[in-house]
Structures are given as C-alpha cells and as structure tokens.
A = this chain, B = another copy of it.
Amino acid sequence: MATIRELARLCGVSSATVSRVFNNPEVVNAQTRELILSTAARIGYLPNESARTLATKRSHMVGLIWDTDHRRPGWRHPFFQEILIGLKTALSERGYHLLMLATSEDGTPDSFLRAVRRHNLDGVVFIDNGRADPSLQPLAASEVPCVSLDRPVQGPRTTYVTSDNVGGAREAVRHLHATGRRAIATITGPARTRPGAERLRGYLEELAALGLEHRPELVVEGDFYLSSGYAAMRALLELEEPPDAVFAAGDEMAIGALRAVTEAGLKVPEDIALVGFDDIELAALVPPGLTTLAQDKAGFGTAAAAAVIKMINEGVTPLPRILPTRLVVRGSTG
C-alpha cells in the first residue's frame, strides 16, 4: 500500500502538499494538483482512514445503536430494515459510514459512550426499542451528537425523529367517521411507549373534535403484537354495545383483530371496519387489505442522517423532526 510520503516523493512535492490536495484542493496550484491526482490514481493511493482519524479526531463514522439486548423482543422495530437503508444511503452520500455498535458488552452504563470515544465516532443514531435504556443516558448526556428514533432523549446535543402519531391517529378516526362509523374503538400500544401514548391522544382528540362520545370501554390496551390485537378484539366483541369500527395503533394488532372478527363470524368491513398504523408489508397482503397510516420508513433513516450530520458539521442541534403519515385506504374500510 502506497503512503502519502511515497506519493509525495513520486511527484517531487512534500506530503503536506499531497494532504492538501485531498482536503483543501483549492489552495494548491492547479498543475501540481493534477499531477498528484493522476499519480495517485496510477499507483492506487488510498488515504488511510485510521491515520486521518488519529490526526483529525474525526472518524467519519456514525454509530448505530439499535438495541441493548437482542434476546428481548423489543429489538424488532417494525421498519428496522427500511430505516437502515435510508440511514446508510444518506450517510454514505455525505461520506459517512455506519458502525453497528455492539450490545452493551459489559453491561456497564457507560459502555456505549466508551465505544464512541474509543472509535472517535462523530455521532450516534439510536433506534428506540420501547424501553428506557439506562446505558443510553451517559451517551445522551455527553457532547456526542445523538439522534434518537421515536423517542425524545435528554441531552445537550440530542434530537429525535418520529412520525406524526397524533395527526395520523386523528386521520384514522376521521376516516372511519367519514365512512359512516360512529362507535369507534381503539386498541392502543403500551402507554409507556411514546407512539402508543400519542396515538391514543390523537384518537381522543379527534373523537372530541368530531363530537363523538368517548366511551372508556372502547379503549383497550395492547402491546403492538398480533396476539394482543386478537385478544383485545375479542374483548371488544363481547361488549353489550360492540363498536362498528376499530383503530388499532399498529398493523400487527390490526391483523390480530381482523382474525378475531373473522372467527366470530363477522365480516370486515361490513360489520366492523379496521384501520391500522405503520403500513407493514403484510397490511397489503392480508385479505381484504388493511387500511392503515403509512409511516415514512425510508424518511426516518434519511432524516436521522441529515440531523446527525448537521450536528457534526454545523454544530447546531436541529429541532425534532416530525414526519407526516399517509392514509392508505384498502379493503378493511370498504
């Protein structure tokens, strides 16, 4: 592997000049620059990133923390893959790479921060897993740029990206109302999760805005998993006055609810209309098709990348980014 000094020798210049060609091209004479660039291409010179990082203290790497414990189900963010794509693409367009941070190896609360320091990471993105994670705290409290997904975190240089959960939930209820439904129930996510809480708030707000009565028995808490949607729906069907529509705060729960409705001998959407949230792949595949509020999956990654790069390069902490949702109408609401 050619080094910068070797390239410099070949070109009859000093290594300082070569370095400038790659970092500050405009300050070096055009002829010299061309000579250096062409020679570099000829001998296959590649700057050594470790040496750069050592000298500049900038690694051009962003860490990704996506869970601290893969044995729990929480790691399964519905759009992990899409987020990752968006993140990776947006980062690499700006010359950054993504380093997967290992699970907090030794369990000490500052293990993430230590990993960041050791590798000179320029910033960090973490994907919420639904649990407050103590080992994120020291990191968030540090001066390291942090972007969190779906959950605000406290810290001097932190921001977050999330969907418009309230607005989406309101649109869901509005849509059900527009199709003539009046007894609209909801199956919520866990109250401790932010999306869970916000979607419930949207549901309540829109009920009020539409002048619909809020019947507490029509609100059942689930855990975002299919089985909880199934159970919740069965409970709703056993009410004296069952609902004619259900807004489930997640598609998996909506699909569980769908199954419960079908098994009870009722029809979707004729007897009960259903709206989900997320727009997972399955939503389009399950008959009769699930109406849902699509989240901007790739947008999560892109927005996170943009935010972290802004913090790194411009030193400013951008405001939280709220991504709009989009109503996708399918068979489950007729």
A75 and B102 alpha carbons, distance in the complex (Å) = 23
User: A226: CB under 8 A from chain B?
Assistant: yes
Q: Which chain A residues numbered 105 to 140 have a C-beta less than 8 Å away from chain B?
A: 105, 114, 117-120
User: Which residues A83-122 have CB closer than 8 A to chain B?
Assistant: 84-85, 88-89, 91-92, 97-103, 105, 114, 117-120
Q: Are A49 and B120 in contact (CB under 8 A)?
A: yes
In the complex, residue of chain B having the shortest beta-carbon distance to the beta carbon of A92: B102
Chain B residues near A158: list those with CB within 8 A.
Answer: none
> Does A1 reach chain B (CB closer than 8 Å)?
yes
- A53 is an interface residue with CB less than 8 A from chain B: yes
Closest to A100 in B: B98
CA distance A93 to B114 in the complex (A): 16
Counted per complex, copies of this chain come to 2
A215 within 8 A of B: no
Query: Is A282 an interface residue when CB atoms closer than 8 A count as contact?
Result: yes
Q: Which residues between 242 and 293 of chain A lie within 8 Å of chain B, taking CB atoms?
A: 255, 259, 282, 285, 287
Q: A51 to B54, alpha carbons, bound, how many Å?
A: 6
**Given the complex of chains A and B, what is the CA–CA distance between A97 and B111 in angstroms?**
14
Taking a contact as CB atoms under 8 Å apart, the answer to whether B120 and A105 are in contact is no
Docked-complex contact B61 and A1, CB < 8 angstroms = no
| Residues in B neighbouring A64, C-beta threshold 8 A | 100
Other-chain residue from B48, B75, B114, B119 in contact with A85 (beta carbon distance below 8 A)? B75
Q: Is A42 an interface residue (CB 8 A)?
A: no
Query: In this assembly, does A59 line the interface, its C-beta being within 8 Å of a C-beta of chain B?
Result: yes
CB distance from A88 to the nearest CB of B (A): 5
Neighbour of A285 across the interface among B1, B118, B255, CB < 8 A: B255
A19 is an interface residue with CB less than 8 A from chain B: no
- Given A80-B81, A81-B81, A285-B226, residue A46 in contact with residue B103 (CB < 8 A): no
A47 at the interface (CB under 8 A from B): yes
Q: Does A50 belong to the interface (CB within 8 Å)?
A: yes
**Residues 47-88 (chain A) with a chain B CB within 8 angstroms:** 47-51, 53-54, 59, 61, 64, 70, 75-76, 80-81, 84-85, 88
Min CB distance, A4 to chain B, in Å? 13
Cα distance A255–B287 in the bound complex, in angstroms: 12
Interface centre among A1, A76, A88, A89 (most CB of B within 10 A): A88
Whether A61 contacts B285 by the Cβ 8 Å rule is no
Using Cβ atoms and an 8 Å threshold, which residues of chain B touch A80? 81
* A286 to B328 Cα, complex, angstroms: 22
In contact, A100 and B103 (Cβ under 8 angstroms): no
Is the CB–CB distance between A89 and B105 below 8 Å?
A: no
